[in-house]
Every structure is written in structure tokens, then in C-alpha cells.
Structure 1
Amino acid sequence: MISRKEVATTVPESFKRYVNAISENNLEEALRKNTRRFRKLLKNIPKKKINYAYAEGKWSLKEMLQHIVDAERVFTFRALHFARKDGAPLPGFDENVWAITAKAPKRSWSDLVDEFLALRAANELFFTALDEDQLLATGTANNNQISVAGLGFVCAGHVAHHMNIIKERYLGEYPPLKPVRKKKRQA
């Protein structure tokens, strides 16, 4: 399996924050542990928070979960496209337009959770089935070059990124960051 360090050069700058949001170096392990952590977090979200948005114009947790599902589908489709050596470049997607048109508020929370878990289970199987040649394959999406393995790490890291947002801004689990004080220089 290709390591997280090996994909660093095959991930566009805008996606490196997702790859850096996970600590596992092995893709299979990263996806498996990420799924387990996210499942646990989703189980512990209070019902009163499901339709909560922490500020005006921000997504509710339902809308965020729908976004996570949509993005995971896009990332994995890109990985499939590139792994199968299809050279056609793929377009980007406007996550805000998708969020509005997905109509997540009309969906049940349990259906959204079930959809994510089913999708992730299929994606774990997909990425595990790829050989090194397929994982190293690259293609162009949204005018950026990215590898199949890179997209797998992006899937895990994208979820990790949103888990941090959920904990901090929706559930208030993290204390506010304290300002860093500069040490006085000695003369």
C-alpha cells in the first residue's frame, strides 16, 4: 500500500490540509480508523444539534453530513476514473450549489448516517482492491493533477477535517485557542 508520505507530491496544494489532517501512514488503516472515529462521533451527536448551524449562513449538521457524502462520492469517482486509466480530465464541483440542491433538511439523520457508512464501506473495499500501479495512477480533476492514492487519503482527511469542525463549532468540545506569546529575546 502506498504511504501518506509518498502521495505528498501527487496531491494539489488545496487538498494537502486534508491529507495532513490524518496521522495514519497506510491508506487502508487511515480509512478504517477514520470510519470508526466518525461513526462514534455521529452516534454521540445530540438530536437537538442535528439541524443546528453555529452561525447564520453556515450549514446545519445534516447539510454538512450530506456534503461529506457528496464529496466522498466525487473523490472516489475520480479515483475510479484515474485507476481505470481514463485520461479525460474531470470537472470540479461547487459544494455550495450541491448543498442547496441536495435538500438535506428533508432527509432523516439516520438515513444520512447509514448512507455515509454504506458508501465508506464500499470505498474501503475499492481502495483496498487496488494494486500499486492503480494507486499511483494520476489524472486531472478541477484543473489539478492528483493520484488515486492521494484521493483515498483525501477521503479520510476530508472527514477528519469536518470532524474537527463539528467538535469545535457545533458541539463546543474544544476550548478556544490561547494566543501564543512570543518569548523575549535575550541580548
Structure 2
Amino acid sequence: MKFTDLNHSEYNPYYSNYISLVSPEIDLIDALEEGKDICLSFYRSIKEEKWTYSYDSGKWTILESLLHVIDTERIFAYRALRIARGDKTPLTGFEQDDYIKPSAANERSMESLLEEYKIVRESSILLFKSFSNEALLHIGSASDSALSARAAGFIICGHEIHHGNIIKTRYLN
């Protein structure tokens, strides 16, 4: 399933900015696998002295940004699981800044975060591989908007690209 197969009714328009970053002709599983390799290589290339750098007061560090990507992937994978299984319970949103504050991301090593990222991504890949095509089409409700299981997967991919782009332009220049 490619993101061009998605119908705009499957996700909140807010997520279009993320989804549009995914190559239009790539399959969801391939996007997750390719994203893993790109992400691991990218973060490993960042010099240690930059890990706790923030480009402005109140902005996240690179370590915090990576942990945010991990947290968000977990949340969207959980949403996809519930939706793919036909759960119609409306799923609440989450406040990303509230997740970062107690995380102690800056006390961790890049390698420990990358190991966590790798395991979370591999889990997501297995999860999405386990869904039938029919299950991927299921639509539930998250953050007061429609969300399909497959849209959740593409949001994971695009969200990761989005944060990589921010790091490249605002943290590494």
C-alpha cells in the first residue's frame, strides 16, 4: 500500500505535511524499513557535542527530538493496532512537550536512544506486516479525527522525515 492510495478522509489534514514527505510510490513496509536505515545512519553521523544542542531557548535538543520521534511512533503504532483490530473507542491525543519534560533524554547516550529507536521500528514493521489489507483500511478516531491504520503508518514515516529535516536545517548548519 502506497501513500497515494490514502484517501484524505483517513486522517486529519494536519498530518498531510508529514505524509507528503514520504515518497509517493513507496510501499508502507518499504517506507518503514528504508526510514529505519536512513534514520540510524543520520543520527550516528551527528557529532556528540551537538546531541544536547538546542537552536533556541525552549526548543528541544537533538536527543529530545529523537526521543520524541520514538514516543510518537509508539503512540501511532498503538493507535494503528487498536484501529486495525476494529476498536472504535475514540483515542485521545497527547501533549508532546509533556512527554519530553520527564524523559531525561539528555541524560542518555545517542547509542541507547538509537537502540531503542531500532527496536521500536522493528516492532512497528512486524506490526504493520501482520495487518491484512482489510485491517489497514479500518478507520477509527484519534485526537477527535478520523484515522485509518494505514494512515497511522505513513504518519510515522513522514513524522520521522520531518524531524530529520528540522535537525538538518536548524541544528546542523
Query: Under a length normalisation based on structure 1, what TM-score does the superposition of the two structures give?
Result: 0.88
SS of 1:16 mapped into structure 2: helix
Instruction: Output the CA distance in 1 between the equivalents of 2:65 and 2:21.
Output: 18
Residues matched between the structures, number: 171
SS of 1:101 mapped into structure 2: coil
Is contact 1:5-1:25 (8 Å) kept?
Answer: no
Counterpart for residue 61 of structure 2: 60
Instruction: Output the CA distance in 1 between the equivalents of 2:116 and 2:17.
Output: 25
- Cα RMSD for the two superposed structures: 1.0
Counterpart for residue 99 of structure 2: 98
Counterpart for residue 5 of structure 2: 6
Instruction: Output the CA distance in 2 between the equivalents of 1:32 and 1:25.
Output: 11
SS of 2:101 mapped into structure 1: helix
Counterpart for residue 156 of structure 1: 157
Instruction: Output the CA distance in 2 between the equivalents of 1:25 and 1:8.
Output: 16
For 1:1-187, what aligned pairs fall within 5 Å after superposition?
2-9=1-8, 10-23=10-23, 24-172=25-173
Superposition deviation, residue 77 in structure 1 = 0.3
Superposition deviation, residue 80 in structure 1 = 0.4
Instruction: Output the CA distance in 1 between the equivalents of 2:121 and 2:92.
Output: 22
Superposition deviation, residue 8 in structure 1 = 3.6
Superposition deviation, residue 110 in structure 1 = 1.3
Query: Under a length normalisation based on structure 2, what TM-score does the superposition of the two structures give?
Result: 0.95
Instruction: Output the CA distance in 2 between the equivalents of 1:14 and 1:152.
Output: 15
Per-residue deviation, residues 116-135 of structure 1 (Å, max 9, x unmatched): 01100110111112111110
For structure 1, list consecutive stretches of 5 or more residues without a partner in the other structure.
173-187
Instruction: Output the CA distance in 2 between the equivalents of 1:91 and 1:61.
Output: 27
